[in-house]
Amino acid sequence: MENTVINSGRKSDDIQNKTSMCSKLLAALKERISPLFFILLVIHVCIVVTQASNSLPIKLRAFAGIIEFGLSAFLSYRFGYLGMLLSMVTNGIAAVNMFIVSDQVAGVVATNTTYLPEKISRVTNSTAGLLLSLSATRIALIVASIMIAYTSEQGRKHIKRLEWLANIDGVTGVFNHRYFQSKLEEEIVKANEKDSTLGMIMIDLDNFKKFNDNYGHKAGDLLLSKTSEIFVNETREKDIVCRYGGDEFAILLPDANSEGILSVIERIRKSFAKMTGLEEYFSMLDKVTLSAGYSIYPALAKNKDDLIMQADSALYQAKNMGRNNVQLYRDIFEDIKYFFDSDEQLFGGLRALLGTVSAKDKYTLGHSERVMDYAVMIGRAMGLGGERIRLLKIAALLHDIGKVEIPESVLNKSGPLSEDDLKLLQKHPSYSADILEPLSGIDQLIDSIKHHHERFDGTGYPSRIKGNDIPLEARILCVADSFDAMLSDRPYRKGMKIDEVIEELQKNAGTQFDPYAVQAFLSTLNANYAV
């Protein structure tokens, strides 16, 4: 598996690596050549030229020399090898110039100082040596600049290495969750500045836990690593691949549209299928596949948190539609908005209520979206249309609105629910009816929501009514709600496989569920999802 992935992409990888290296060098050079560098460069060159022209008085020349020496050291420290090169050029020219001048001075002194007083003659005779000494000092400064620049660059490399280690996932080699959060904020700012877009894909490995259980964590880590390689190879250089957590990955795609994102996902899925098809242990019954969800800023998401929530919600939808598929986030409120015509107040009130529930229990909103889709499928298969489908859609979306009255400690409990917890939770259909009662003209809607936990045999709640006494829409909601609940992972249990859920529906048709609603659902489920 490893050799196949590496060999198949070796040529393209070499080209990408060379391009990436050039880009990195240019980026590093651009980063170093800052306005401060140009200012110091101009000052440094001016001092060197002035010094070389011999136009400064001797005292000022000494002062300028001190500044020049300090600048050489600072440039080497602050700008590394770039500053060192500048110091080498300017000090090298000055050293050569002083050496030539010292030689010329030595010749002049030898022939013209015979009649000078002894003290002045000694000073004059030492001038050539002094100039030679200054030339040597310039060379020493070059050596010092090299040492300073080397030390500075090593320090920078060490810091970058630590930053890299802090931002890279140790198992996969891609960026980690910490980096993802900071980079997402940066990319949102860039998208705003450029009036552009930012796509986000959330990808999850289906059945990864079973793979880990069957073949061990070492094989699981290898699978994550090879999958990450595919993500990197099948995305653009400017795209950012991150391990979001566990077997879930996030990919940020600057300047991307829906068509481009779908193209990336399709390439990833094909490469992944090819890779997993090469190894025998991938042929297990519950084969490892990829599910993906995506959203786009600012077309759908309005901020960073929206983008994460929407991509994650779309991924959740993909996994609950049978896994191994892709979903784009959609705003369900926009889906049903036209049902309310001009009643903006009613629409706004319902949206606010559902938002309140979602804030307490993030599972509820995605669950309600899926129940709405399933309920509409069943309703249409049973011959409903027009106004009844409209009310069924809204009822499905709002069927858990009463959970706003249930404490978060119960809604998000990680262990099994106690008897008291269950009694409290069973009150949410009545709470829903109480909340919706002030809304005029939707009695049928309220009844559908209030009775969606009644059982066909009369042992349900809250009213223990049975058979056809239960409103048809409530019977449909009962099937749709139970189907999604059994499929979904919850804090206190793992979701069931779709064939197990279908078996449960068939087994409980006529007792818990309306048999006609179950039959209608399974017929449309088989037609749409090939289960």
Going from N- to C-terminal start, the domains of the chain cover: 34-166, 169-329, 331-531
pLDDT score at 13 = 42
CA angle 392, 294, 398 (to 5 degrees): 20
Residue 440 pLDDT greater than 70, yes or no:
no
Is pLDDT larger for residue 125 or for residue 167?
167
| Average pLDDT, integer, range 324-329 | 68
Whole-Å CA distances, 491 to 143, 305, 402, 410, 452: 65, 22, 20, 11, 23
Please report the pLDDT score of residue 3 as a whole number: 36
For residue 5, the surrounding DSSP H or E stretch is helix 2-8
pTM as predicted? 0.54
- pLDDT tens by residue, 228-249: 999 999 999 899 999 998 889 9
Check residues 394 and 361 and name the one with the higher pLDDT.
Answer: 394
| pLDDT recorded at residue 441 | 59
What amino acid is encoded at 267 in this protein? R
Residue range 452-505, pLDDT digits in tens: 999 999 999 999 999 999 999 999 999 999 998 898 777 667 778 888 999 999
Tell me the average pLDDT across 337-361. Answer: 65
Q: Which CATH number fits domain 331-531: 1.10.8.50, 3.40.430.10, 3.90.1150.10, 1.10.3210.10?
A: 1.10.3210.10
Residue 30: its H or E element: helix 10-32
pLDDT more than 90, % of the chain? 23
Pick from 136-145, 201-210, 356-365, 398-407: least confident: 356-365
Q: Are 51 and 67 in contact (CB under 8 A)?
A: no
Instruction: Measure the CA–CA gap between 471 and 466, rounded to whole angstroms.
Output: 10
Going by C-alpha positions, the residue among 172, 185, 101, 94 that lies closest to residue 138 is 94
Q: What is the mean pLDDT of residues 420-445?
A: 81
The contacts of residue 70 (CB under 8 Å, 6+ apart) are none
Fold entry, domain 169-329 = Alpha-Beta Plaits (3.30.70)
pLDDT band at 337 (very low <50, low <70, confident <90, very high): low
Q: pLDDT digit string (tens) for 154-209?
A: 777 776 676 666 788 888 888 999 889 989 999 999 999 999 999 999 999 888 88
Query: Rounded mean pLDDT of 268-283?
Result: 74
